[in-house]
């Protein structure tokens, strides 16, 4: 602890009485959150939980599988047995026509097997972060395969997503900034950024109105500092790194900027989210 | 829900991200009072109520995007800080509060002389004194005393340096001390 810190600690030590008095006063003066506000907040939270995605339902399904293996076995029997039950022949389609309608679907499923296995991994990652016993994992994979056979369209969509992991983000509901708006938003601001692609990480960036920027970043790969310049062009925010990343120094990189709910979003080349940015005034002291 | 009460903020948020509705209730319970007080100390009503509700709406909308490597508490207060600034800008009250000496109009102060005894008057006076601090000093003080943030965390939230935070706190405490001595 340096002298400045010691002095400050000593300064604060002399303020205990004032601190205690303030906390008492704050408790006395505090008012509860109005009930209508509280209700609105909880209703919104409940609605967001109800709007779950496929990952959530898969997660819940496989949790049930692990907890009720007997029931799962019974369901498996049903799922396996039902397709084997002879079905009434579709009299509208002759046998050859039925077979020729099936053939391309079967062929497509066979050629997309590697992608399906990658999709399988994606589903497994989405299902639950907790490690599962080997038997349960095997059961999950078996069910996934059964599910794909039964739901070819879903499987093909999953395979497509697995082949293109940086699928574009849906920017519906976001507002894209034009050049003027980018300049206004980024002039003299501190940018607390959460990186969403690659290995993730975070950064604290300073964007100056005179066109300079600095960045202190950290990720699982390490940490570092960058400097450079930024500007706008064709409704894109561009930057050129001057120091800190030799492989990118001097190269112009441009991208669109979106905003929603007072947060700002940068996009990578694939159109998915690169960073989520919280901007605040840059104090110059 | 009881198994979440001792869990870290990150674990509670992750539980909510995975669809556990009661996890949100736990998160809300933890931060309702301190965040509401933060807004009430920084803004008048009704803007404080509006901004408080809006903060939770934003959290609900963007919870899936929160990365566990960051501190949820710091993240929340960073958003809260930005919202206070936005509210100041839209209402253009920043300079008015610095010079306004009418305690009834200051954020966080409610003054009813007919009903106050001496100790409550002292408490109200202290709250009013905090409300009369310049915005940056008041914010540093509230973040330290109400939310319990460290100097580094306050610096991160407010986009300043640790030394600047220390300076603001020194001024804040100094002014409060001198005002309370007068009262």
Q: What is the DSSP string of A48-100?
A: HHHS--HHHHHHHHHHHHHH-HHHHHHHHHHHHHHHHS-----TTS-HHHHHH
Token digits for B44? Answer: 């008048």
Phi, psi for A255 (deg, rounded to 5): -165, 160
B147-180 pLDDT, tens per residue? 889 999 999 999 899 999 999 999 999 898 887 7
Mean pLDDT of A115-123: 47
- Could you give the CA distance from residue B118 to residue A151 in angstroms, rounded to a whole number? 75
Phi, psi for A273 (deg, rounded to 5): -75, 125
What is the per-residue pLDDT for B19? 80
ipTM, 2 dp: 0.78
Half-sphere exposure of A197 (CA within 13 A, CB side): 16
Half-sphere exposure of B91 (CA within 13 A, CB side): 19
What is the per-residue pLDDT for A283? 65
Please check whether residue B85 is in contact with residue A281, taking contact to mean a CB–CB distance below 8 angstroms: yes
CB atoms within 10 A of CB B10: 15
What is the per-residue pLDDT for B143? 93
Q: Which A positions 150-209 lie with beta carbon below 8 A of chain B?
A: 190, 192, 194, 196, 200-202, 204
Please check whether residue A241 is in contact with residue A138, taking contact to mean a CB–CB distance below 8 angstroms: no
Handedness of CA B12, B17, B20, B24 (dihedral sign): positive
Name the nearest CA neighbour of A211 among A236, A240, A234.
Answer: A240
β-bridge partners, A230: A239
- Could you give the CA distance from residue A112 to residue A115 in angstroms, rounded to a whole number? 5
Half-sphere exposure of A254 (CA within 13 A, CB side): 11
A34-57 pLDDT, tens per residue? 888 888 888 888 877 765 555 445
What is the per-residue pLDDT for B95? 47
CB atoms within 10 A of CB A14: 10
| pLDDT of A210 over the 70 cut | yes
Q: Are B16 and A49 inside 8 Å of each other by CB?
A: yes
Residue located via tokens 């959530």: A56
Nearest residue in B to A30, CA atom: B37
Please check whether residue A207 is in contact with residue A189, taking contact to mean a CB–CB distance below 8 angstroms: yes
Mean pLDDT of A140-165: 46
Name the nearest CA neighbour of B34 among B151, B164, B173, B147.
Answer: B147
Residue located via tokens 């674990």: B11
Q: Does B177 touch chain A (CB under 8 A)?
A: yes
Tell me the percentage of chain B whose pLDDT exceeds 70. Answer: 78
What is chain A's mean pLDDT, rounded? 71
The CA-CA-CA angle for residues A157, A158, A162, to 5°, reads: 120
Q: Label residue A91 by pLDDT band (50, 70, 90).
A: very low
Of A22, A31, A52, the CB nearest to B126: A22
What is the per-residue pLDDT for B28? 92
Please check whether residue B157 is in contact with residue B74, taking contact to mean a CB–CB distance below 8 angstroms: yes
Of B24, B146, B166, the CB nearest to A45: B24
| pLDDT of A175 over the 70 cut | yes
Please check whether residue B42 is in contact with residue B107, taking contact to mean a CB–CB distance below 8 angstroms: yes
β-bridge partners, A102: none
DSSP structural state of residue A140: H
CB atoms within 10 A of CB A242: 14
| pLDDT of B59 over the 80 cut | yes
Which residue did the predictor score with more confidence, A109 or A64? A64
Contacts within 8 Å (CB) and 24+ apart, B45-51: B47/B87, B47/B91, B48/B107, B49/A33, B49/A34, B49/A37, B51/B80, B51/B83, B51/B84, B51/B87
Question: How many Å separate Cα B164 from the centre of its chain?
Answer: 18
A263-275 pLDDT, tens per residue? 899 987 778 888 8
Please check whether residue A211 is in contact with residue A229, taking contact to mean a CB–CB distance below 8 angstroms: yes
- Chain B residues with CB inside 8 Å of A33's CB? 32, 36, 49, 52
How much is the pTM?
0.47
B107-131 pLDDT, tens per residue? 444 444 444 567 777 788 888 889 8
Please check whether residue B127 is in contact with residue B109, taking contact to mean a CB–CB distance below 8 angstroms: yes
Question: Cα dist. A22→A28, A200, B48, B134, B170 in Å?
Answer: 10, 41, 20, 17, 16
| pLDDT of A7 over the 90 cut | no
- Could you give the CA distance from residue B176 to residue A19 in angstroms, rounded to a whole number? 10
Q: Does B38 touch chain A (CB under 8 A)?
A: no
Of B57, B67, B109, the CB nearest to A200: B67
Smallest CA–CA distance, residue A166 to chain B, in Å, is: 16
Tell me the percentage of chain B whose pLDDT exceeds 90. Answer: 27
- How many helices (H) and strands (E) chain B has is answered by 9, 0
- Chain A residues with CB inside 8 Å of B160's CB? 283, 285
Please check whether residue A205 is in contact with residue A215, taking contact to mean a CB–CB distance below 8 angstroms: yes
Q: Which B positions 95-114 lie with beta carbon below 8 A of chain A?
A: 108-110
Please check whether residue B78 is in contact with residue A278, taking contact to mean a CB–CB distance below 8 angstroms: yes
- Chain A residues with CB inside 8 Å of B128's CB? none
């Amino acid at each position: 602890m340096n002298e400045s810190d010691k002095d400050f600690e000593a300064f604060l030590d002399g303020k205990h009485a004032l601190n205690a008095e303030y906390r008492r006063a704050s408790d006395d003066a505090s008012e509860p959150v109005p009930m209508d506000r509280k209700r609105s907040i909880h209703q919104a939270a409940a609605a967001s939980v109800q709007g779950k995605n496929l990952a959530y339902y898969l997660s819940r399904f496989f949790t049930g599988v692990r907890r009720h293996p007997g029931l799962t076995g019974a369901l498996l029997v049903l799922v396996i047995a039902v397709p084997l039950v002879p079905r009434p022949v579709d009299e509208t389609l002759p046998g050859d026509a039925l077979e020729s309608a099936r053939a391309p679907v079967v062929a497509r499923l066979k050629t997309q097997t590697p992608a399906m296995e990658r999709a399988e991994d994606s589903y497994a990652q989405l299902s639950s972060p907790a490690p599962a016993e080997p038997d349960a994992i095997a059961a999950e994979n078996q069910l996934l395969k059964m599910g794909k056979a039964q739901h070819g369209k879903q499987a093909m969509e999953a395979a497509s997503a697995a082949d293109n992991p940086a699928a574009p983000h849906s920017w519906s509901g976001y507002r894209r900034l034009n050049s003027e708006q980018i300049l206004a938003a980024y002039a003299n601001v501190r940018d607390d950024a959460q990186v969403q692609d690659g290995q993730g990480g975070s950064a604290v960036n300073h964007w100056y109105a005179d066109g300079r920027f600095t960045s202190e970043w950290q990720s699982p790969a390490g940490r570092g500092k960058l400097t450079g310049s930024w500007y706008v062009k064709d409704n894109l925010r561009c930057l050129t790194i001057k120091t800190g990343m030799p492989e990118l120094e001097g190269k112009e990189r441009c991208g669109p900027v979106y905003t929603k709910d007072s947060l700002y979003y940068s996009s990578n080349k694939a159109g998915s989210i690169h960073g989520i940015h919280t901007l605040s005034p840059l104090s110059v002291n | 829900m009881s198994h979440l009460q001792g869990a870290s903020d990150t674990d509670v948020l992750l539980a909510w991200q995975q669809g556990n509705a009661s996890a949100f209730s736990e998160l809300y319970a933890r931060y309702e009072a301190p965040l509401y007080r933060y807004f009430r100390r920084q803004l008048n009503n009704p803007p404080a109520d509006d901004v408080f509700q809006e903060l939770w709406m934003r959290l609900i909308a963007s919870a899936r995007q929160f990365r566990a490597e960051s501190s949820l508490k710091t993240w929340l207060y960073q958003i809260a800080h930005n919202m206070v600034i936005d509210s100041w800008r839209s209402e253009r009250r920043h300079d008015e509060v610095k010079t306004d000496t009418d305690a009834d109009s200051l954020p966080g102060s409610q003054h009813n002389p007919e009903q106050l005894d001496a100790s409550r008057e002292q408490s109200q006076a202290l709250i009013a004194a905090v409300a009369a601090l310049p915005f940056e000093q008041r914010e540093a003080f509230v973040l330290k005393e109400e939310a319990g943030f460290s100097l580094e965390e306050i610096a991160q939230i407010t986009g300043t340096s640790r030394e600047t935070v220390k300076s603001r706190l020194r001024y804040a405490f100094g002014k409060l001390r001198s005002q309370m001595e007068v009262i």
